[in-house]
């Protein structure tokens, strides 16, 4: 049974910690103690339930094990058939003897978020993050990048760095708006860097340099080069396993008096909190997301002065409606939903971010002292 549960999950060949789960996650301190203490010893933890449990209850077990462990799969035995659900969907694993049950498979958060996993994940889905110009949601994808990239008016002719650039869109939008002297971009995924290079070229950015690298040891500025007048980091901090070294890397790239635009998904957003209560399996990024207040505090302690911040991308049910419209309605609702997002973001910006909890994402600008 154990081998069948874990087949093809790419679990490292180390000890699997197997814990029979009781009735109440909040009272399970003794049961969960071996998991909390496992440190780097066990590559995989399986919580074994004697029967299937409702999703909100499984979500509470996940919370009890976060941030050491991250749930990656849920298996069930029903009518002799063993199946496994991951974020990619459900797969039948085969026929197995037994009366029923449910098993939740966890991996160490630091393993799921390791540099190796990050490169593999983004290399594999680089095209998806680039956006498909033929998809009805493409205007929304581009609007979000433009909104973040142009959140602060950049000094004309500035040198700009896109820090965790993905396919490069935020930096490209900023560079075009400022008629930048140079745009540099880096990302852990070489595939992403290649897309950024192509996108920059296609959008007439004459001076572009792109390289693979991580924010914890950024490949720009090169030795002897000045730091940047504008640095943009969009949608990256939620992917970072330990924020302190990453923030040190980020801060070092901004010139004294230069500006930082940083944004990401919001751990406080109603839609994310709702998903967190009701679903077991979530992308690790959603659980690892930070609040804008936390990020602002960390940056202020590094000598930055907060300028302004607000929310964008309305929370539940707008993203869900967009997905439904795209999947089932041929995208007919995409335009009105984009307008709702644009109007909401503009309103919150004019209110100084007072309604930002109504949005899935935040963005802010800070100036380096
Ligand atoms: C959600 S994508 C955002 C890409 C782009 N900034 C945008 O807004 O379209 C997150 C990106 O962060 C990158 N990333 C993950 N961990 C990173 C790290 N430690 N330092 C820099 N970039 C990282 C990923 O490779 C990925 O391309």
Six-digit token string for 137: 């949601």
Spacing, Cα 11 to ligand 1 middle (Å): 24
Ligand 1 atom with minimal separation from the 169 CA = 9
Given the DSSP bridges, would you call strands 304-314 and 208-212 parallel, antiparallel or unpaired? Answer: unpaired
Question: pLDDT tens-digit profile of 208-246?
Answer: 999 999 999 999 999 999 999 999 999 999 999 999 999
* pLDDT greater than 80 at residue 52: yes
Ligand 1 atom with minimal separation from the 285 CA = 1
Six-digit token string for 72: 């990656």
Distances (CA, A) of 74 to 47, 54, 67, 190: 10, 12, 18, 32
Q: To which H or E segment does residue 273 belong?
A: helix 270-278
- Ligand 1 neighbours by CB, cut-off 6 Å: 118, 122, 129, 145, 164-166, 169-170, 187-189, 192, 214-216, 234-236, 239-240, 246
pLDDT range class, residue 13, cuts 50, 70, 90: low
Q: Of 47-56, 94-103, 193-202, which gets the smallest average pLDDT?
A: 94-103
* pLDDT greater than 90 at residue 310: yes
* pLDDT greater than 80 at residue 2: no
| Best of 164, 246, 266, 360 for a ligand 1 pocket test (most atoms within 8 Å of beta carbon) | 164
Q: Of 11-20, 90-99, 126-135, 306-315, which gets the smallest average pLDDT?
A: 11-20
Ligand 1 atom with minimal separation from the 163 CA = 21
Spacing, Cα 250 to ligand 1 middle (Å): 13
Q: Check residue 288 and give its pLDDT.
A: 98
pLDDT range class, residue 40, cuts 50, 70, 90: low
Q: Residues 346, 314: contact at Cβ < 8 Å? A: no
Q: Residues 359, 314: contact at Cβ < 8 Å? A: yes
Closest residue by Cα to residue 119 from 49, 187, 43? 187
Q: What is the 3-state secondary structure (H, E, C) of 106-123?
A: EEEHHHHCCHHHHHHHHH
Residue 336's CB: how many other CB atoms inside 10 A?
11
Residue nearest atom 1 of ligand 1, based on CA coordinates: 235
| Best of 239, 312, 361, 363 for a ligand 1 pocket test (most atoms within 8 Å of beta carbon) | 239
pLDDT range class, residue 6, cuts 50, 70, 90: confident
Spacing, Cα 166 to ligand 1 middle (Å): 5
Q: Report how far residue 134's alpha carbon sits from residue 334's, in angstroms, rounded to the nearest whole number.
A: 13
Q: Report how far residue 75's alpha carbon sits from residue 84's, in angstroms, rounded to the nearest whole number.
A: 4
**Residue 92 region by backbone torsions, left for phi larger than 0, else alpha for psi between -120 and 50, else beta:** beta
Q: Check residue 41 and give its pLDDT.
A: 64
Per DSSP, which regions of 170-303 are E strands? 182-187, 208-212, 228-234, 254-265
* pLDDT greater than 90 at residue 176: yes
Q: Check residue 233 and give its pLDDT.
A: 98
* Secondary structure tally for the chain: helices H, strands E: 15, 13
The order of strands in the sheet holding 208-212 is 208-212, 182-187, 159-163, 228-234, 254-265, 359-368, 304-314
Q: Which residue has the tokens 């996940």?
A: 62
Centroid of chain to Cα 163:
14
* pLDDT greater than 80 at residue 14: no
Ligand 1 atom with minimal separation from the 164 CA = 22
Share of the chain above pLDDT 90, in %: 83
**Residue 10 region by backbone torsions, left for phi larger than 0, else alpha for psi between -120 and 50, else beta:** left
Q: Report how far residue 15's alpha carbon sits from residue 32's, in angstroms, rounded to the nearest whole number.
A: 16
Six-digit token string for 319: 């993203």
Q: Check residue 38 and give its pLDDT.
A: 62
Question: DSSP letter string over 336-366?
Answer: HHHHHHHHHHHHHHHTTSTTGGGEEEEEEEE
Q: Report how far residue 304's alpha carbon sits from residue 37's, in angstroms, rounded to the nearest whole number.
A: 37
Which domains, ranges and CATH numbers included, belong to the chain?
Answer: 2-112 (3.30.110), 120-368 (3.40.50.150)
Spacing, Cα 239 to ligand 1 middle (Å): 7
Mean pLDDT across 131-148: 96
Residue 60's CB: how many other CB atoms inside 10 A?
17
pLDDT range class, residue 287, cuts 50, 70, 90: very high
Given the DSSP bridges, would you call strands 159-163 and 228-234 parallel, antiparallel or unpaired? Answer: parallel
Spacing, Cα 49 to ligand 1 middle (Å): 36
């Amino acid at each position: 049974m154990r081998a069948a549960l874990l087949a093809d999950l790419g679990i490292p060949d180390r000890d699997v910690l197997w814990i029979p789960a009781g009735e109440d996650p909040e009272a399970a301190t003794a049961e969960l103690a071996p998991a909390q203490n496992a440190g780097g010893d066990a590559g995989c933890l399986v919580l074994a339930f004697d029967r299937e449990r409702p999703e909100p209850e499984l979500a509470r077990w996940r919370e009890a094990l976060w941030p050491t462990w991250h749930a990656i799969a849920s298996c069930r035995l029903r009518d002799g058939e063993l199946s496994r659900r991951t974020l990619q969907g459900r797969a039948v694993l085969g026929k197995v003897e037994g009366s029923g049950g449910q098993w939740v498979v966890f991996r160490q958060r630091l393993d799921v978020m390791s540099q190796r996993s990050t490169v593999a994940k983004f290399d594999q889905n680089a095209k998806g993050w680039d956006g498909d110009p033929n998809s009805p949601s493409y205007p929304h994808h581009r609007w979000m990048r433009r909104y973040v990239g142009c959140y602060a008016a950049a000094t004309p002719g500035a040198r700009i760095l896109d820090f965790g650039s993905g396919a490069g869109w935020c930096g490209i939008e900023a560079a075009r708006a400022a008629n930048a002297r140079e745009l540099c971009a880096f990302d852990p995924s070489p595939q992403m860097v290649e897309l950024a290079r192509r996108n920059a070229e296609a959008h007439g950015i004459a001076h572009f340099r792109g390289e693979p690298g991580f924010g914890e040891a950024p490949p720009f500025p090169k030795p002897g080069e000045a730091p940047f007048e504008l640095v943009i980091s969009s949608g990256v901090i939620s992917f970072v396993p330990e924020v302190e070294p990453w923030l040190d890397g980020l801060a070092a790239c901004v010139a004294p008096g230069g500006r930082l635009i940083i944004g990401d998904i919001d751990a406080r957003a109603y839609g994310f909190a709702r998903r967190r209560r009701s679903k077991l399996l979530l992308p690790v990024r959603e659980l690892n997301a930070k609040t804008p207040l936390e990020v602002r505090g960390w940056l202020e302690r590094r000598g930055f002065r907060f300028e302004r911040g607000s929310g964008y991308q309305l929370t539940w049910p707008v993203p869900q409606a967009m997905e439904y419209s795209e999947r089932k309605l041929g995208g007919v609702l995409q335009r009105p939903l984009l307008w709702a997002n644009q109007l909401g973001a503009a309103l919150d910006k004019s209110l100084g971010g007072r309604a930002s909890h109504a949005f899935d994402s935040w963005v802010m600008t800070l100036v380096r002292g």
